[in-house]
Each structure stands twice: as structure tokens, then as C-alpha cells.
Chain A
Amino acid sequence: MKRCQLLVLGAGPGGYSAAFRAADLGMQVVLVERDATLGGVCLNVGCIPSKALLHVAAVADEVKALSAHGLSYGEPVLDLPALRQWKSGVVGKLTSGLAGMAKARKVDVLRGDGRFTDAHTLRVTLGDGSAEDVHFEQAIIAAGSRPVALPFLPNDPRIVDSTGALELPFVPKRMLVIGGGIIGLEMATVYSTLGARIDVVEMQDTLMTGADRDLVKVWEKRNMPRFDRVMLKTRTVGADAAADGIHVRFEGEAAPAGAQVYDLVLVSVGRSPNGGSIGAEAAGVTVTDRGFIPVDRQMRTSVPHIFAIGDLIGQPMLAHKAVHEGHVAAEVAAGHKAFFDARQIPSVAYTDPEVAWAGITEEQARASGVAYGKSVFPWAASGRAIANGRDEGFTKLLFDEKTGRVIGGGIVGTHAGDLIGEVCLAIEMGADAHDIGHTIHPHPTLGESIGLAAEAFYGACTDLPPARKR
């Protein structure tokens, strides 16, 4: 039987970060991962490969747009196997880097499916079917989540989840995206640029739920040409696989009469935590009906020496949240007094334009009665955005009425995801409009829109028409 001070179950961003941090703090760590490579969903079948494809799509769209700016290329030639290879190369580079870093830290990586058998033992079923028990003093559960499947859909290779879509099996003529969240819309962007016509069906009354409407509207205005149908407040009720495609039936406000035929159907209706499939009960760890594992601010589960982090402790299911939680758990396990005290977890849709937000949204503020002040800098007044030919975006900051500190922000526009970091820092630091506005931002950049929005808040922005006297 293997013995270790700390066992980490799951080698996604949260898990490997926890394992590496604990190893750096002097603990002897075993990292259990069921997949062949480290990095979990994010690196292998999530954030990273989708960004590789989105990058290609964005460049393709930009090249096409260049013809209006005086530079034309010929029609693009798609080499699908080469594109897949590029994507796999990106993933491979990162996962092999992780493997090297695990080795350098002397983290013992064990490949297999792990299930707890008691509060100090994890049984790992290895690839060859044999089992190995690992005895641990403490453990961190980082087993992540999986895509939600719709049980009424037939089993057919043309019906895929995000993992299947990232494999780029072919470029469909007509594609249905079930679920208008970030994952579905990112994949819609890729497939649409590669030539597919897209329908999207969403049960809620808006796409990209969670983001403020004004941000989403900018994205919608630019992206509507990608879609034949955007079916809001509509549910998918059934599908039949036929030779000519998947026949899908809908019900609801925007449901078309009769079944629609698609070459490819992407199911992206959310992710479900894996807390229920790791034998956590055997260890005494409380798991909710839906598979979440409740934890406290130190990431401790109901069993004090077992921690949980990442997707399976709750929303939002984001890698950067898991990484921070992983560090907290590892530090607490190593005897430090660490806590998860973050004030904001940013969200980014890597669509085109990107939509990014951090801290409180206007919708949340209104719902919870937080008194806030708002300032918007439209990119139509940004020299850089105009020069880029992409001035449809805007930068928005929300301030606490009482303290004047920034409590939220949203950006829609190219590279919004890269820009939102400054807003994140400002929220964590408790910066107010003057702190941000009096920070000299480089010109001309998209980033200066954050400084200009702050200036606009206290009436000192000279790149906007004069503020109306209040």
C-alpha cells in the first residue's frame, strides 16, 4: 500500500496546483488522475483547445475583414487534419510541461480511477484493471465536473458534447447548439467561422446568462449573422437520428413548426459536479444530491482532514477559481492559516467580441439592492479601437455608492478577457475611481478605456463629450 501525507484526487488546474503547492511546502504528495495526461478538462478538452481553435477563427475573421481596409487575400483553404494537429500540439505542449513540473517536484502521479474506501484510504483502479490502495493523512478532492447529457437524445456520433465538438470531426452545414451559455457560443463561433450555419436553442430568455444585458447586446449585434435561428425560451424535446441528419423537435416561444435537420448537434447545457462518483460517502464526506461537496472558507469538507476544491464545490466552474482554491487547500493542509478571501472571480466569454466581467454585475446589484454608481466608456471614443476597426465595445465600471470603491466591471470588445484583469485587481485592492483614473494608462490601448471610464465617473474624462451638469 502506498502512503502519503497528502493525496490529491484529480489533476485539473485545481488539482495539480494544489499538489504542486503542497509539494513546494514540503509535503509528500500523491496525485491521482484517471486520464493519461495532467491538466484535466481545462487543458485537454476545455479552455486551452477551444482557445486554439478560437484564435484560428478570430484570425480568419479578421483577415476577411481586412478586405475592407485595403488588403485582400484569396479564399481560405481549410485543412481540417492540420487544424486538429495544431490544436493537439498546443495541448500536448502544456500537458507535457505539467508532467515535467510534477516530476521536478517529486509529486507521485498515479494514473487510474480513484474511489475512497474510508476516511484515510483511496482505492485506485489502474489501467490494467488492478487496484492499488493509497493511504493518506490528508486529501484534496479535485475531481471536477462533466458535461450534462440530455437522456432523451439518441446515441449518435453526430450528437456531441464540448469534448466531441473540440475534436472537430467535420464541418457541418447546419449545426444546432443546445444551450446558449459561454461554452456553446464559443464553439458556435469556431464552427460558424469554419463555414457552418448555426441554430442555438436556449431555455432562458437570454444568451450568455450571468453577463449584464448591455454587454451581451453588443456581442449579439455583431454575431447575429452567424445564426439562422436563436430560439430563446425554447426547449429541445426530442431527436431522431436519420441518414440525412439529426431531426430535432422543439417546444416553446421560438420553436419552429416541425423538426429541424442538423448535421451536428452540440449539447452544452451545463456541467455537473463529480462529487457523487468518487466514493466520498465512504470517507464520511458530505455530498449534496446534485453532487456538490460543501466546504468552508479553508476548503475543508465535513471531514476536517479532507478538502475539496474546484467545480465540485460550486459555481462558477472556472479554472482560475479552482487554482486559487487549490492553493488555499494545500496551504491549510501544510499547516498555514490560509483562507479563500477573494472578492471577485472574473468570467470571460472568448467569443468575438469577447465579453468579460468581474465582481458584481448590474443585475446582481439591482437584485440585491446594492446602491451603486456606474460609468461607461464607449469604445467609439477609443482611438485604438477605431484603428483596429473594432469600436463596437465598451468598458463599464460599477462603484459602491457609499465607499466609492469599484465593486464590479464589465467589458465587451476584442481582448476584453485580457483587459478585465485590471478591474479584478482594482476590486481586490479596494480602488476607487480616482485611484484608477489617476493611474496613467498607455495610449493608445484598449486598456486605457478602464482609466477613461473611471475618469468619466468623476467628470474628468476629456475624451468624451462634456458631462451634463447634474
Chain B
Amino acid sequence: MPDQNDPLLMSFARAAISRRSALTGLAGVAAAGLLAACGSPGRNASSSTSASAAPKAAEDLSDTDKVVNWSNWPEYIDIDDAGKHPSIEAFVKQTGIKVNYNEDYNDNDEFFAKVRPLLEAGQDTGRDTWVSTDWMVARLVRLGYVQPLDYANIPNLANLEPSLKDVPFDQGRVYSLPWQSGFVGVAYNPKATGGRKVTSVDQLLHDTALKGKVTMLTEMRDTVGMVLIEQGVSLAEVTADQFAAALAVIQEAKDAGQIKGFTGNEYTKPLASGDTAACLAWTGDVVQLRADNPQLGYALGEQGIPMFSDNFVIPNLAQHKKNAEKLINYYYDPKVMAAVADYVNYIPPVAGVKPILVKEDPEVANNELIFPSEAILAKAQVFRALSAEEETSFNRQFQAVVTG
């Protein structure tokens, strides 16, 4: 038997070498100018600054094909012990529209990389709606990849939280409606900080007791936003110089060995175990972490709080646009959103949810991180929309710090 394995394994090694010869050959081909011939000529975008490119609508199959394809982030909806989503089941029963619910939106950038080639080529993405973070909505609108929502199908829009009605990246909410919102704050594990409280970014970046045990977020606007606010800059009016100045503070802390890493959602486990002493964290995560580790501390900024929303959008050529709008409308019913908020612990964007939960689940209803007070909401700030050039430049500078 092993003798049969043997030549197979040897062939791996040979393959590694013949790959080299293949590449050598390829270099010759390249020299012949094949590159230019085969290279993609580039998309001569209709517009680089606004969505003047008319979004392309597909023939709407909603009435005949009772289906809606929805991509969402993992664990971002109510779920019961059987692994089903009660709110979706109720929608199916109520409307007869089947929901293909996919938790395949793990990361804004990765998801964008997945759908961009299709949208750029003017093809259907196979999805009728998905949930993108504010800045990604800004980019999708800028590139003309999403369609205006038909408010006639969304009468429950009247329940939208007033503070979310007008956002800088989508004036008048033409293209997007929020699914959930959250704050960015500082979280710490008293076990690892020696009992001391960590309440500000300044402390996070400069308290030597935390050296090498601090993480920040790979979400540029959240991480740099926290520092910007501490420097007294309004996120709605950030300039390139202010951005660079805030980034320099982070770079300095990183070079000093204060910052251990930049993470996505994976900061939660080390924080709970104490391997991370303090970090930037999202409110929904903190509520869930605290359920298991009540000793974890959390602080929202005194001067201002970066706020983000993840928003429904409908991509170009979605085949069931009306069904998607009906789905959005359904979740803008406070009773439905209450069931979701009770589970996901982020901030629901629908007015009238709190009174329902006061009766059903007072613990959630009284949690300031899920239902923030007026005073806290007044401090919430949203990062302004960036132009294409700014976005590239900011991203490049930020990644130079993250991977430098």
C-alpha cells in the first residue's frame, strides 16, 4: 500500500519544479507583449463622484417568483433553539415569499471583492438585498451599484428613527435603510489591567500598564474616528490633515509596542480570556460578552461616540426588488424589530421598539448600549462620505500603519 502512495508524493515534488519551468516559459510569453493584449482595458466609469450613472433595474420577477435572496452578517438576526429564524418564518407565512437567508457577509471588503466583478460587468449578483456598513453604502452609491428604494412598498418607513433619516452618504435615504446600529467604545478586562479602569483612547494608547496588550479595529473609520474625536475633530468634517495627525498618534503607539494588533470581530475571545487587556469594541459584542463575563468594563467617549449602521441596499439587476422592499418594510414594524433587537443586542433603527421590550424583556430594554439615552445619542457621530481619491488615500495610509 505505501508503495502506491510513494509515487504520488514524489510527483508533488516534481510538480513544484515543473511549475518553475512553466513560469519561465510564461515570462517569455509575457515579453512577447501578450500582457497588453490580454490585460483588462479598464472600465471607463460613467462617473467617479456621483451616482449619475442610472442604476440598472432588472425586470422584476417579484409577483411571479415569490422569492427574496438576502445576504447578511453571521449571527445578526433572531434565532431559536432549532436554529431557525422566527422572524423570517413569520414573514414567509404572512406574505408567501420564500426567503433565502445567507449569512455570507463576513466582511465589507471581502464581500465587495466578491460582488464587484459582477456589478462592474453589469450582471446579476444573485442577491436581492444585503446589509452593508455606512461607508460601504457610500462606495456602492458612488459607483452606481445600487438602486433607489421604492418607498411605496415600504410604508413602515415612518417608523425610522429620526436621527438616522439624513445621513451624509445617502441624503434622504434614497438607496439605503438601516438594519442595526452600534457604537464604538473602549472595552477592558479588569483581570488583565490589574483592576484599573480604561476609559479613553488616550489611556488605551499611552498607559504603559497596558503595553502590548491593546488591540484596535481593522475598521479604519472606527479606529481613527475614536482618536479624531478625542482630538476634538467632528467626524462629519474630517480633513486630510486631521486624519493624518490622528493616524500619526496611532503609529506612534504601535511603534512603542503599545498596540498588539488590529482585529475584526476576533478581538472578543482574547479580551474575555485576558490576553487582551483593553481594546476598541463594538457595543453589540460587548453586551454579549458581558452576559458571560459581567466583570468586563466598557466606556463610551465623553466628547463623542463613533456610530455605525449596517444598511439594507438593493443591488443593480436584483430580480426580486419588490419582494426585498416588502422584507425591509416587514422589519420596520416595531413588533418584528423588537424580536430581532432582543436577540442581536445592537441598536434597532426603528422607533417604538423600546416600549414593547420594556414589557417583554426589561433587561434588554433598560440596557443603555441597546437603547441609548438622548444624552448619549446626542454624542453619536458618523464618519462623512469620502471621495474616491480620499478613500484610496486614507485606506493606504491606514493600511501602512496596520501592516507596516
A, B co-complexed: no
